[in-house]
Structure 1
């Protein structure tokens, strides 16, 4: 049985083809000005595979936009299922997305027990860090190299708009750009950890999902602020929601 999971995110639209108990294809594209078109583009790309797709599941902000979807499931539920598939030992999920951050706790079966979402301020999101890297004339995928040997500058603002103004001021004071970027990383991880600790159990086993989970500096900083040895992740961490959607599609179809 083949399932297609589609995650319509604020920054990227992701798709995963899942057959029986393994992933056979994963692809993502930037979410365009029309999330519907991005979803449809990925859907058409995936259904061009030689094997027939039995079930289609959508999740994320635009989950209601694809008419061909058999099921539309919330991103909280899909992130739980995706994490449980990739790392069933974890009981807490921290997802830092392009537009929001989420903390989800799950039980031994991968079912959601509780969650918190912060979608009120962009200063703790991937979009804020992406903006910062552009401001210092670099790219977010180079962040680990960019901040090597840096010392974090203090970022005081809790609002993305004021934080950007603060960054401009620091650059005007000739503060090294790498110190400013590392300061932003520390700021994001500190507020994310404080947010997570409202919900997470003592000594949580954390799975870090989302695009920022690809970067060593983010993983190390988040673990330090959570006061744990390390956070777990996966090379497909950015596809967590899409993987969960595909896994749940198989389960629903079998029922």
Structure 2
């Protein structure tokens, strides 16, 4: 992009003249990437020829045909968290759909070390979606409802999403209230995330990115287990919001990629974006 801010505005934000593209794609990543790019361009006065640099990130990053470079989501989430939460962030927990990544970073958002869990979906956003489908509750209701309980129930004990699913079915059949089951699942997820953070070593300021950062049932229980508060959005500048740049933890990786693109442009390393 010509700069990081246009990248954020034109591709990410549903604001006057600004759009983001977010949907479930299929197995054809290159076509999905072009669909997203073309949709965003149609909503602006830009053409693909106006895009000076494009970076692919995430699990499908190598299949983004218009990208000159691909970067890991680890690097992009660290940089995005630095932008969103401020340069004091030293530990980032990215809880995505497919894995969890605990990241140590410096004041510039550079990755110093990381650990990840990509072997099982139990502590990921996908695990939460499976759980939501199982109990037939919208995923965004799970966090608030997990606190509508008489007392905190024992957490789900299974560390595998398949076995956890069986355990949840058993609890439903036993007549356990849905809200209690939600609390038990959120507690289990928070505990697994804490174990990963403890293996890496956590240092404040601590920030969470990814979709699970929006689930207060997991976040508040994680804060209690760790004994520290997660970073808030106080640092995020009002001018960003006024100009249409959303504070959305699911977009941290995209924001980081745009900022890397801006840096490459300033270094004079960018070339025109690839054409279809």
Query: Same fold, TM exceeding 0.5?
Result: yes
Conserved in 1, the CA contact under 8 Å of 2:21 and 2:39? no
> Bigger radius of gyration, 1 or 2?
2
Contact 1:93/1:208 (8 A) holds in 2 = yes
SS in 2 for 1:30: coil
CA distance, structure 2, for counterparts of residue 183 and residue 85 of structure 1:
33
CA distance in 1: counterparts of 2:93 and 2:123, whole angstroms: 12
- DSSP 3-state at the match of 2:200: coil
What is the CA RMSD across the aligned residues, in angstroms?
Answer: 2.1
1:55 is matched with which residue? 53
1:82–1:240 Cα contact (<8 Å) kept: yes
Q: Matches of residues 56-95 of structure 1 in structure 2 within 5 Å?
A: 56-87=54-85, 88-95=87-94
Aligned residues: 240
Write out aligned runs for 1:129-140 (5 A): 129-140=128-139
Q: Is the 8 A contact 1:147 1:181 kept in 2?
A: yes
- Given that 1:90 and 1:205 are in contact with CA atoms closer than 8 Å, whether structure 2 keeps it comes out as yes
The separation in 2 between residues aligned to 1:98 and 1:194, in whole angstroms, is 18
Query: What is the rounded CA distance, in whole Å, between the counterparts of 1:110 and 1:131 in structure 2?
Result: 32
Listed one character per residue, the Cα deviations across residues 27-63 of structure 1 (whole Å, up to 9, x for unaligned) are 3112323333322211112233214322111101111
Distance, in Å, in 1 between the alignment partners of 2:216 and 2:165 is: 24
Unaligned runs of 5+ residues in structure 2 are: 237-246, 268-276
Q: Which moved more, 1:190-199 or 1:139-148?
A: 139-148
The residue aligned with 2:115 is 116
Please give the alpha-carbon distance, in whole angstroms, between the structure 1 residues aligned to 2:53 and 2:100. 29
Contact residue 29 and residue 64 of structure 2 kept, 8 A: no
Q: Per-residue deviation at 1:230?
A: 3.4
Report whether the alignment pairs 1:166 with 2:175. no
Look up the match of 1:143: 142
Checking the alignment, whether the CA contact within 8 Å between 1:153 and 1:179 is kept in structure 2 is no
Residue 98 of structure 1: aligned partner: 97
Shift in CA distance, 39/191, structure 1 to aligned 2, threshold 3 Å: same
1:21 corresponds to:
none
What's the counterpart of residue 9 of structure 1? none
After TM superposition, the structure 1 stretch with the greater mean CA deviation from structure 2, 40-49 or 241-250, is 40-49
Q: Deviations over 1:168-208 (max 9, x none)?
A: 11111001111111111110111101111111344x21111
> Is it true that 1:238 corresponds to 2:232 in the alignment?
no
TM-score (norm 2): 0.80
- Give the Cα–Cα distance (whole angstroms) in 2 for the partners of residues 80 and 105 of structure 1: 8
CA distance in structure 2 between the aligned counterparts of 1:58 and 1:83, rounded to whole angstroms? 18
User: How far apart are 1:132 and its partner, in Å?
Assistant: 1.1
Superimposed CA distance per residue, residues 124-145 of structure 1 (whole angstroms, 9 cap, x where no aligned partner): 1111111111111111012233
Seen in structure 2, the aligned counterparts of structure 1 residues 61 and 240 have a Cα distance that, compared at 3 Å, is same
User: Whole-Å Cα distance in 2 between the matches of residues 189 and 142 of structure 1?
Assistant: 17
1:46 matched to which residue of 2?
A: 40
Q: How far did residue 99 of structure 1 move?
A: 1.0
Aligned CA distance change for structure 1 residues 89 and 142 (closer, same or farther; 3 Å): same
**Greater fraction of residues in helix:** 2
